[in-house]
Amino acid sequence: MHNDLAEVLFTEEEIAGRVGEMGRAITRDYACTADEGGIVLVSVLRGAAIFMADLARRIELPVEMDYLAVSSYGNGAKSSGVVRILKDLTSEIEGRHVIVAEDILDSGLTLTYLLKNLSSRHPASLEVATLLRKKTPAQAKIDCKYLGFECPDDFIVGYGLDYAERYRNLPCIGILKPEIYQ
């Protein structure tokens, strides 16, 4: 699988270091919520599950983990433009502090929809922790309180990110060679 990468953007060690920094920042920012039951981390399956698991282990507060499954890509390389919720949260988030753990902010379409949906459930607070943010001019305006890395507007795989359900298990993050997906 490594041979399918045009370039490694972030190594396993770089990712671990940055996720640790994000976890420490969340611990610091939400320390006062420990008596309120801590925070709810919400991951969008499947891509962000690895990131959220690692992030949760770096947060030194009570953490509840929950998952949404949404679809906007299918097996393609570009978003279809239609967001569908395939699996909803099982936790009640009203009055809770919620952090959406996102793998990559690309167009922002999916995350914009998701934030609007979660906000309608009246959480005490709602923030975003994204591992990657692509540098794209047409990206939706989304405030990410916790940002791992900025990355180029290329097809990115590894550390949970996939192409047609492959490459999620790469420990690094890299750019997929165009001939693989074209």
Strands 156-157, 173-176: pairing is antiparallel
Q: How far apart are CA 154 and CA 38, in angstroms?
A: 36
- 3-class DSSP state of 104: strand
Q: How far apart are CA 122 and CA 54, in angstroms?
A: 27
Q: How far apart are CA 182 and CA 76, in angstroms?
A: 10
Q: For this structure, is 154 an active site residue?
A: no
121 Cβ neighbours under 8 A, 6+ residues apart: 93, 94
Residue 116 in tokens: 């609007």
Catalytic residue from among 29, 54, 88, 106: 106
Q: How far apart are CA 28 and CA 30, in angstroms?
A: 6
C-alpha 170, offset from chain centre? 16
Q: Which residues belong to the active site?
A: 106
